[in-house]
Every structure is written in C-alpha cells, then in structure tokens.
Structure 1
Amino acid sequence: MSFQLHVWGPAFGLDSIDAECLAAIAAFRHIFHHYDWSLIASNDTSLSPDRTLPALFHDDTWISGYMNIISYAIHHNTSYAGSLADNDLTPQQEADLLAYSSLLSTRGSGLVALSLYASPNAWVELTRPAYSALLPFPLTWTIPITMRAAAIEKAESLGIGYLAAEAEADEAASKSGLETTSTGFLRLRQQLGPKKSMQPEQTAAIRFKQLADDFFATLDDLRGSKKYLLGTSSPSSLDFLTYGYLALMNVQTPFPILAQSLRCRPLIQFLRMIETEPQSYVLPRQESKPRGLPGTIYVFADGAIESIAGAGESWRRWRHGGIKSDEGEEIQDSSQTPVAVGSAVLGLVVVGAAIFLRGLSPFGASTHRFAVPKEETGLYRFGEVGAMLDILPIFE
C-alpha cells in the first residue's frame, strides 16, 4: 500500500496553510517517487488518533506529527527517489537536529501565530478566509476559531500574548474606542508609568521585531556558509521543517513585520533555494473522501462542545478515553457526565439550526442583507404622523 499523506490544504499561494504540513510535503517529494505516495488535503484532524495534521496512513497504521512521519517514512521506504541525511548524522549534528527542531516548533510557531492569527487584520483578511475555503459548512463556524485559540496560546509563550485579541474584540473595536495601529494589532489604552511616552502597541511591535530578528539570526548562525543547515551533502528533516516555517513567515500580511525582517536576513536565500530546487514531478494529489453529513455533524458538535466554558475540558477527557488516575488507571468522572451529555445535545441542536440556515455566509465571507426600508412599512408609510403613531403600543 502506498503512503497517504493527509495535510491541511493550500493557502497564501503555498501547498498548505500549516508549517509542518508544508515540511512533510517537501520532504516526501524529495524522498519518494510520485507513484509511491499520495497527497490528500483532507483538512480533517479527526482522522488521526492524535487529532493533528500532518498525518500519514500506511499499512493500516496512522502516524502523526512531522518528525514521527519522517522517521517512519525513512525506515519503511525501499525505493528511494532521494535520501535524507538523518541516518548519517554525527552525534553533534543529531543534537543540533533535536535542538533546532524544538526551536522551530516553539519560537517559530509562536512567531507565525502572531503574524497570521493574533493580528486582527491578518486574521480577518487572510487566515480566516483561507480556512473558510478549506472547510465545508458549518465547520467554518468552529474549526477556525479553535485553530486561532491554539495559535494564541503559542503566542502567549513569547511573552506578548496580550496582542492576541479575541475574535469578538475585532468587531467590538470600533464600539469601544479601540483602533488598529500601523503594527496590525489593536491599539491598547495608554498606561501610566515611566514609559508612558511610548504607546504600548509601539513597544509590542518593537518587541515582536526583536524576537523575529533573534530567531532568524540563530538560524543564520547555524547555516553559516553551508548549503544545508547541518552541513550535510543532502537535506535533512531539519531543512524541510525550517522551510515550512519560513514559507509562512514570508507571507505578505497587511502589516508584514515578520516578512520584512526575514527578507533582510541571509536566511531568505535558503528559503529561495528550497523553493526553486528542481522538482522531478507534479505532486500526486488525491481527492479526499467526503465527510458525509454524520461526520460533519460529529466534528461540528465536537468543536461546539469544546468551546463551552466548563464543559470543553471534560468533553476532551472523555473523548480521549476517560480520566487517568495517578497510577495510570482509567476512571470515570460521573459528576461531569451530565455536563458532557447535555453539551452534546446542545451541539446537535446547534448543528440542526446551522444546516437549516446553511444559506448564511461562512466566517471570512461578506454578508449581504436585503430588506424593505423601514419608512416603507407599517405606519411609516404615512410620513411623520405615521412614524409618531407607530411607536404607540396600541399599534404594535
């Protein structure tokens, strides 16, 4: 059976909206002949037991996560189109591979989260519409918000998570007096203190650029004058993982602080090299199987339940097989069962309403409303006198 690589679909002119998916696609294209694998933009994390993408299906086995997938592919591939250098690394190179992979998955993912998810402008104009194009109705109402919440948690690990305004704050900005600044984030209220001469959003933008510059400088120092990051004769899994993150960092957002920082670094040449390396074949894309109505309902209800305060955590525990005791034994949390069940029912009710009203535009799309002008209805048709009479209770 050929290898089936399941990923998030294309966005921003790239093969995927996700960094690890981009890395896996580039690595598989290097490792395999086109007839040994297929690329499936399923956009469905529920396929994998770990509920993450990328995910690889081979010989009735699911493997998720970029590094796990690459390790599995290397050890189960018998007809190489190309080879990764991972099996011939020195102890120092192996240590660098682990250390810099961790840097990418923490600091790198946090920077991407700030650029594409936490910034209200980038989220509304680019990222949310991209997810809406990848997902079927009504999953456009739940999954993008879940993805943004996860990205905001990564942004918070960088110490400037307060930039990650909630989605509701985007719409409430004009009503509350907040406005978007040249940095792409919401203008925060001026704070008292010795630094009050510098607005908080300006300080945050400077901090964001410093984090980006430090991140790129670290990778530049690792590469030096070498072609590949670890000094190997062929690319390693680290090279493709770095490509995945740099490709998303180079996306032109409304306020491209991260992209501008990257384009000033020698590392941009590494990105160009990976992008322009000769490709021997077109990606072996394969259509994903339709979810079907039951599958869509399940995924939507699952996302709706997770978003309910007080019930989401309990539902996640039950979904993953119950709660574990200190000894590792599975126990039931009976006090939370009614909450989870009630939330499931609520989720299904919401799904029914959503399907009934499926004519509504998904998140990220424009909504057009057509209505008869108020002055042409009721007593308003009789001019000013009619308008005065219309507000009286007897005419309701």
Structure 2
Amino acid sequence: MSFELHVWGPALGRDSIDAECLAAIAAFRHIFAPSEWSLIASNDTYLSPEHTLPALFHGGLWTSGYTNIISYLTWHTTSCDERLSDNDLTSQQEADLLAYSSYLSTRGSGLIALSLYASPNAWVELTRPAYSELLPFPLTWTIPTTIRAAAIDKAESLGMGYIAAEAEADEAAAQGPAETTSTGFLRLRQQLGPRKSMQPEQTAAIRFQQLADDFFTTLDELQGAEKYLLQTSIPSSLDFLAYGYLELMQVQTPFPILARSLMANGRPSAQFLQTMRAQSQDYVLPWEEPAPLGLPRTMLVFADGAIESIAGAGESWRRWRRGGIENEQGEQAQTLTPTLVAVGSVVAGLAAAGAAVILRGIPSFGATTHRFEAPKEEKGLHRFGEIGAMLDVLPIFDQPPTPSSSL
C-alpha cells in the first residue's frame, strides 16, 4: 500500500515552504523508491485531525508532524531499519536526538520566523507572494496571516518580536501617528534611542547575527568532523530535520543574515547541507496533483479562519474543533455554547453565500496592501468591516442597555 505524504508546496526555490515538510520529503526520498510513495502539495492543514502539515495518509489513517511520521514509519516498514539509524542508537545518541530535535523546532523555527515572516521586507517580497501562489483565493486572506502571527510569537520568544514593526493601536494613540522611513517602513519608537532612524532589520542585525552564530555553532559542535550529526554511519531522523531547517535558512532574503552566517568561515553545517543535497540530486520526486478543494470546502475553510480571528470566540472555536473544550471536571465537552454556535453558523453561511461578492471585491493576496481603520467613535461589531456590520444586526449580538445611574 503506497504512502501519501501531504505537504506545503514548493516555494522560495525549495521543495516546500515549510521546514518539517522539507525534512519529511528528504527522509522519504532516502527511505523509499519513487514507486513506493506519492508526494502531494495539498497545502491543506485541514486534511488531518491535528491540522498540521506534513501529514501522512496510509492504511486509512492520518499521521501529522515530522516526528510522528518517522515514528509511524519505524513501526510499519522495514526500510527504516535499513536506511535510518534511529533504532541502532546508543542511549547518549537517543538523548541527543531528542534534545537537538527540540532545539531545531524551537530555536531553528524561531530564526526562520525572524528571517521569513517577522521581517517586513521578506514577508512582502518573498513569503507572502509565495503563499499567494500556493493557496486558492480567498484562503490567501486568512491562512497566511494566521501563520505569520504564530511566527511572530516565535520571534518574540527570542526577544525580537519588534522586528515585525507592527504598530499597536494603543501605542499609536499615545504617541501620535507612526513615522515612516523613505522606503515606507515604520520607524522604531523613541524609547529605542539612537536606533530610531533605522529600519527594524538594521536595528536587530547585531542581535540576530548573534543568535544565528550561536545556532550554527551548536550544530557544528554536535557534528564534529563526522558526516552526520550523531556520528552515525547512516543518517538519522535528526539529520533530515536539520536539513529541512538549513534549507530555509539559506534562502536569500532582503537581509540574508542567516544565509551569510551559515556560509561563513567554512562551517561544518554548510558542508553538511551540501552532503544531504548531493544524496538526492538524481532522485525524481513522485509528485501527484492534489484533489481540488472545490468552492464549498474552500469557503468553509475560509469561514473557519474568519471565526478564529474573532476576539473572544476564536480561541474557544479552535479548541473545540481540535478536540473539545474541557469542562470543570477535566472532561471533553463537545458542545459549543449557543453564542459560539451562532457565530460559527452565521460566519460560515455568510462566507458561502457571499463568495461571489468577496471574489469580485477583494484583490488577490500578495497584491498591494491596504490598511483600513474604523472611526474611533464607532462601537459594536460593525467596526470590524462589512461582515461585522452584518453580524451586528443579529439579536445575539445586541448590546446590553446601559444601566441608569442611581441618585
């Protein structure tokens, strides 16, 4: 029975725009012959119950995430024993595999978040247009913004979230209109001192460079003078995971700090990347066309993303959809509150019924960006735009009367 690997599609000159998808593709390419599996750029996280790519479909079951997929393969195929060293590691090597896999998924993903998502230059010039090519409209207006928001959170975990140059509404109100440079980017605020006149990437360059150097030095020390990271004779799953992250780190962004650091001074990490690439240069990936989403499913996915963006309701909706909301006894409550049900039903209905209007009235994602602000005196859901205005007239959103003050 053939394995179906679903991934984010090719972008930025790589086989995928996602590091774990690149790792999974490289691992499958090493383990299986092209006739034993198929590669599908579905770009659809809603295929699997965990809503994550890469996702493996085999034997009627879905498995999501690179680590889970590798674990599944080691239990269900004999090829892994022959082609991966994971089952022949010493106790110390097993500990290193777990520790450095976690290091890659935290520090490595944080650096990629800084380079491709938090950076306004890279986001506008590279990453956002790439998602515009991968996703059907109007999903380009919900999914990429959600992905970028999560990436900025990772950047903030490194203490560098301000590189995104996102002006908070209360900050703007307190300090007046945001200043811009001659190239149109927001200047940093006065509290950052003499760096105020510099672009965010420039002010963050020293810190970013330090983080990048520390990351690559750590991988260099782990590999030592050996071919693979755990000093094994054949690669482990850690090698393919590192390959996925290093591939994206070598993308030439407008501020290619990661790429320059990787290639500096003949790093072992750079040689490791070239070694991993060379192993698969003659392999023809078994790409297959994904099944079309269709308009109904596209609009339902769009509606789901729209509901997640609603303050107060989005988090509850997401938790319920992905396994239920825990009640006070710690049990999974699979019933939504009446308000949440109403919000979901209304937004889904509006999304489907208004598809034609949306398709005519909104430019494709990746086109010139516009910013809309509601008048400050407006109240109610209509301040969130046309959909909010339609929701605002529903009885479930009636504002409670203001209590009269007692004398």
State whether residues 32 and 81 of structure 1, in contact with CA within 8 Å, keep that contact through their aligned partners in structure 2: no
Larger radius of gyration: 1
Structure-1 residue corresponding to 2:350: 349
Q: Tell me if structure 2 keeps the 8 A contact 1:132–1:363.
A: yes
TM-score (norm 1): 0.84
Q: Partners of 2:352 and 2:216 in 1: how far apart?
A: 44
Give the TM-score taking structure 2 as reference length. Answer: 0.82
SS at match of 1:179: coil
Deviation, structure 1 residue 140: 0.8
The reply on whether 1:147 has 2:147 as its aligned counterpart is yes
Letter of the structure 2 residue corresponding to residue 58 of structure 1: H
Counterpart in 2 of 1:243? 243
1:11 aligns with 2:5: no
1:333, distance to aligned residue in structure 2 (A): 7.1
Aligned to 1:106: 106
- Secondary structure in 1 aligned to 2:13? coil
Taking the aligned partners of 1:185 and 1:220, their CA distance within structure 2 comes to: 36
Instruction: Call closer, same or farther: CA 1:166–1:301 in 2, change over 3 Å.
Output: farther
Measured in 1, the distance between the counterparts of 2:186 and 2:87 equals 47
Q: Percent identity?
A: 69
* 2:295 aligned residue (275, 293, 296): 293
Task: Provide the aligned C-alpha RMSD in A.
Answer: 2.5
1:237/1:341 CA distance change after superposition, 3 Å:
same
Q: Label 1:12 to 1:332 Cα distance change in 2 as closer, same or farther (>3 A).
A: closer
Aligned to 1:233: 233
3-state SS in 1 of match to 2:319: helix
Q: Distance in 2 between matches of 1:266 and 1:185?
A: 36
Distance 1:163 1:239 in 2: 30
Distance in 1 (CA, whole Å) between partners of 2:228 and 2:185 is: 35
Q: 2:2, 2:81 → 1: CA distance?
A: 14
Structure 1 residues 190 and 305, CA, compared in 2 at 3 Å: closer, same or farther? same
CA distance in 2: counterparts of 1:106 and 1:20, whole angstroms: 12
**Counterpart residue number, 1:191:** 191
Given that 1:178 and 1:187 are in contact with CA atoms closer than 8 Å, whether structure 2 keeps it comes out as yes
SS of the residue 1:147 aligns to: helix
Write out aligned runs for 1:298-377 (5 A).
Answer: 298-325=300-327, 327-331=329-333, 336-359=337-360, 360-365=362-367
Report matched runs for 1:203-214 at 5 Å: 203-214=203-214
Counterpart of 1:84 in structure 2 is 84
| Shift in alpha-carbon separation, 1:185–1:98, aligned structure 2, 3 A | farther
Deviation at 1:278, TM superposition (A): 4.3
Deviates more, 1:311-320 or 1:207-216: 311-320
Query: 2:137 touches 2:365 (CA, 8 Å); kept in 1?
Result: no
Mean Cα displacement is larger for which, 316-325 or 56-65?
A: 316-325
**Is the 2:167–2:178 contact (alpha carbons within 8 Å) kept by the matching residues of 1?**
no
Equivalent pair of 1:216/1:267 in contact (CA under 8 Å): yes
Give the gaps of 5 or more residues in structure 1: 368-396
Indicate if the aligned counterparts of 1:311 and 1:340 stay in contact, CA closer than 8 A: no
Supply the distance in 2 between the matched residues of 1:353 and 1:233 (Cα, whole angstroms): 58
For the structure 1 residues 180 and 84, does the alpha-carbon distance in structure 2 shift closer, same or farther, using more than 3 Å as the test?
farther
Change (3 A) 1:317 1:353: same
